[in-house]
Structures are given as structure tokens and as C-alpha cells.
Structure 1
């Protein structure tokens, strides 16, 4: 599965305005899925990644339409999306636990599953803290608390390392886009906004309302971003490189700091957010690596090659 579904997913959340509901408890108390006969259905890619990361992957019997990581999930049955889960498909899998994301769009379906007697856990992953908490909750609920703690510790260690190594680096103004038609940016309060701040990127969309705000070209030009990170989503024939070349007045375009990024794992609020942070550091402050401020040994393996505006324009 390509990157477009993830972009569609994020933009759908933008349309919802980040609305959420409280976690839904299991129909019969805690609804633990720790027995040898556990059958877990995941309703979101990030939840699926977490289940596999904490060691519960073998118990997963169904996943959402957008799941593609780890590769083992590609052969599992699909049960709709986290916005519109398919109640009938989920029930057919006879789950002992259903895990998804708390949001307003799927409230009817989730409550229907609870009424049918299926233990259901909804988690929130809007911020780094919530991502770490969801990993811990899922690990505890599935009987893998020790591995969950290790996953969270790995994220925290990488964040601490970046804070230490980048402490003397000056922020750059950054625009991070997830959509082109319309232009949709990473907004304030999201986990990506927090990762940008950790990477010493000053998010120019922080002044706009909403977690995933629509943004105008006039606003972008006025804010003068020094780096543009573009998710390459669009319905037209032009690539993002072609698009940005029309605006040399923007410092990021003039200084050749327009970059594409891989939407997976970038847009997934799960166990791999440490990798995303490393990628953002490299894109926003590449000179930090060349100058020795940050080394490959200190930050871990280099992420996959990132497309530049020149590449995208070809």
C-alpha cells in the first residue's frame, strides 16, 4: 500500500477538526486479551504497529484498510478504517479485544460493538505523551508490559539525545504540509508539531486554528519559511517541485530547502516516532551533521533518502 492512504487519513482527521471521544471501556470490565486464545482486531495503523512492537502481533487477527507495517499485516483480513470500522467484518473475526483511536466519527460503530459484548479499548495519540501512554496501555492490556516499557524508553532516550545534541542550534522557520489540494499543514498541538519543535523547527502554522489547518499561499509567503517539508499530496499533474518553483520569493524555495518526506512512518503516531524525529533533524538542520554537532553514531541509522525539490521536478 502506498503513501496516499495515510495522507487521506490525516486529511480526513483535519476535516473532523481533531474531535475525540473518551475511551470506551470493554463491555465486561477490563476485557484483557492475555490468554493463549487472544484474538485482537486493530482499527488503526499506529495501533497495529504498537501491538507488534510490544510483542502482541501474533494475536492480531484483523487490521484496518490502511495498515501496511510491519509486512506481516499485509495478509491479514481488513475491517474498514478507524473512521468507519466495518462492524460485521469485525464481529466475524470473533475478537477478544478491539483496539482503536478515540474520535467522534466512529462513535456509533464502537458503541455497537460494545453492545454486542466485545471488549473495546480506545486510545488517544495526538501528542508525544499520548503516544507513549497508548503504548503502555496497549502493552499492559495485552500482557506485554515489560516490552511496552522498553519501546517507550527507546522513544524517550532518542528525544533526550536530540535535546542534548541540538541545544545550541538556532530554530528555522518550517512549513510542513500533508496535503496540496487544498494546502493542509501540520498545526499546533499535534505530535508532528512537537517533533518539529524538538528538531528546532519553528512551525509557521502554529498561529492558525486547528490541528491540521488549511493554509493559503499568501500566509506562507508572509511567514517566509526557511524550510518546507511537503508530503507530495495533490490531485493535479504537477509535482510539488513544479509547484514551489513558481514562488522564488519564499526563502525555502530560493535557498533550495524544499524537501519531500516519506509519509510512512512520518504520519504514523506510533512506536517509530523516534525515526521521524531523526529525519526531521536531518532535513531542517543538515549542517549539524556535517559540522559534527550531530553524528550518525549518536542519532542512529540514516533514514531513507529524502527527495528534494529538484528530484520532484524531474
Structure 2
């Protein structure tokens, strides 16, 4: 079968993949969502969901994969994210005639599409198509629920000291948008752009959204914004979403979008009775 990856490359397999190595955590999650967890032969450090993947052999860091270990694991497919990170492996993979599928979903709708595509590569179409349909239904319900509600202006905080944000090229922007949110730095020059505190304060967002590791980090984040006297922070509109679910373009990002929608809805005035 032949499919097209997210770099626009044709990827052809003579038969369904049976031994896959993933070079990004989101790719691992997509493989399991496609019903192909049994095909996991190796992955990088940081792939930690679902729980079963913790038993899968590691090939090292995502930016410095162990080439010899990859060869030992005898993959018949590699799923990568960024071409630069996969480059150290490419000579060996070409020698072994192992195809590479680049996975980089840029919209929420692309996530179920990718699950279905991977189902074709692994011969797990029934499970993959069922999961893809479920994810599409959830997205449709979100879009319908929040369509037409008053917009909420959002600052997406993707890093601190210095401050970073994400522009409209980020899939997180799409997650904000389905909730009726408006990214105040959608037109920033880079996908991840550094911004000044004074610029954020001057923009007066209605809410701040950030990926966090837990409740303590969220409390610290909210406290630091209150110190700046940002009105949104003083009103309690600093929201944290589990960083792994928010920043990985996999199925759990739809969970994150549902949580974001509920949070951003709290910033809207109550509907008139």
C-alpha cells in the first residue's frame, strides 16, 4: 500500500508493518490509537503513553538516536517527526530499505486522519477507522457546542524566562480556535516566538493558557501573573492543561481541547436568562 506522509512524501509498504520504531512521543500515541501497539519494536526516551509503551525498548534520545540499536531492532517502518531529528538514521535506514513516515499533524482534524492512515500501514483498518470516527465525532460536537459564542482573547504561554508563545501555525492555536478562542499572537513571525511581558500586558488577553506538569506548577503560574496585575489573572483566568496532552499532536490533544473549551467558557459572561 502507498500513503502520503505529512512531508508530502509517498510511503510504500509491500505488506503491513510488523515492527515499527517511533521517533516522537505523539507518533507512539498515534500507533496505539491505530490499534497497532503490538507492532512497537522501539521508541525514544519520553514516549510514556500509554502505559504499555514503557516496556518497549528505547533507542535513546529523540535528537540523538542510537543508530546501532535501531539496526538491531530490525524495523520495517520508522515514524519520525522532524526531518532534522531523523537525519542521523537516514543512511542506515536507506541501507536497510526501511521506509520512513513523517508525522506532523498541524490541525485537530489531521489527528483522526493520521490514525486512519496508520491503520492502513499496519493493516489495522477496522480498529483505526473506528477510533478515527470517534475522534471526528468529538471534534464535531466541540465545534457545534462553542460555535457562535463570544470570542475569548487568549495568550498561549509556551515558555517563561523568557516568555514564549505560539502562533497560528501551531496545532494549539487550532485547539484554542475550536473553543471560540482568539490567539492574540496568531500573527507572530515564528511558530514559537519570544514576546515581552509588557507586550502581553498591553494586549490585555481575557485568559492565559499554558501547558503544566501539575497543580503546583499551575499555582505558581497563576501567582506570577497576578503579580503583574494582569486583569485576566486577577479574575482567576489563568488555565493550565497537562503539557503532554497539550503539546503532543496526538489523540489526547482532543482531550486537552475539551478541557480548554470548558476553561475558556468560564471567562464569558453568563448567558442572559
Q: Name the structure 2 match of 1:6.
A: none
For 1:253 and 1:137, locate their aligned partners in 2 and report how far apart those are by CA, in whole Å. 42
Alpha-carbon contact 1:41-1:98 (below 8 Å) kept: yes
Alpha-carbon contact 1:23-1:123 (below 8 Å) kept: no
Please report how far the alpha carbon of residue 31 of structure 1 lies from its aligned counterpart in structure 2 after TM superposition.
4.9
Please report how far the alpha carbon of residue 160 of structure 1 lies from its aligned counterpart in structure 2 after TM superposition.
1.3
Quick one: higher RCO (CA 8 Å, sep 6+), 1 or 2?
1
The SS at the match of 1:78 is: coil
Please report how far the alpha carbon of residue 104 of structure 1 lies from its aligned counterpart in structure 2 after TM superposition.
3.0
Alpha-carbon contact 1:21-1:102 (below 8 Å) kept: no
Are 1:264 and 2:264 counterparts? no
Q: Name the structure 2 match of 1:241.
A: 222
> Aligned residues, how many?
262
For 1:33 and 1:145, locate their aligned partners in 2 and report how far apart those are by CA, in whole Å. 11
* Counterpart mapping for 1:202-213 below 5 A: 202-213=182-193
CA RMSD of aligned residues (A): 2.6
Q: Name the structure 2 match of 1:222.
A: 202
Deviation sequence 1:144-165 (CA, Å, 0-9, x none)? 1222222222222112112222
Are 1:30 and 2:13 counterparts? yes
- 43, 47, 53: which one pairs with 2:33? 53
For 1:221 and 1:52, locate their aligned partners in 2 and report how far apart those are by CA, in whole Å. 42
For 1:105 and 1:43, locate their aligned partners in 2 and report how far apart those are by CA, in whole Å. 8
Alpha-carbon contact 1:79-1:89 (below 8 Å) kept: yes
* Counterpart mapping for 1:141-156 below 5 A: 141-156=121-136
Q: Name the structure 2 match of 1:185.
A: 165
Q: Name the structure 2 match of 1:297.
A: none
Say if 1:119 and 1:211 are closer, same or farther in 2 by CA, change over 3 A: same
Q: Name the structure 2 match of 1:305.
A: none
Please report how far the alpha carbon of residue 57 of structure 1 lies from its aligned counterpart in structure 2 after TM superposition.
0.4
Please report how far the alpha carbon of residue 240 of structure 1 lies from its aligned counterpart in structure 2 after TM superposition.
1.8
The more displaced of 261-270 and 81-90 is 81-90
Runs (5+) with no aligned partner, structure 2: 214-218
> What TM-score, normalized to structure 1?
0.75
Say if 1:133 and 1:21 are closer, same or farther in 2 by CA, change over 3 A: closer
* Counterpart mapping for 1:93-172 below 5 A: 93-172=73-152
Deviation sequence 1:98-124 (CA, Å, 0-9, x none)? 112243343342343223322322222
Runs (5+) with no aligned partner, structure 1: 1-19, 292-314
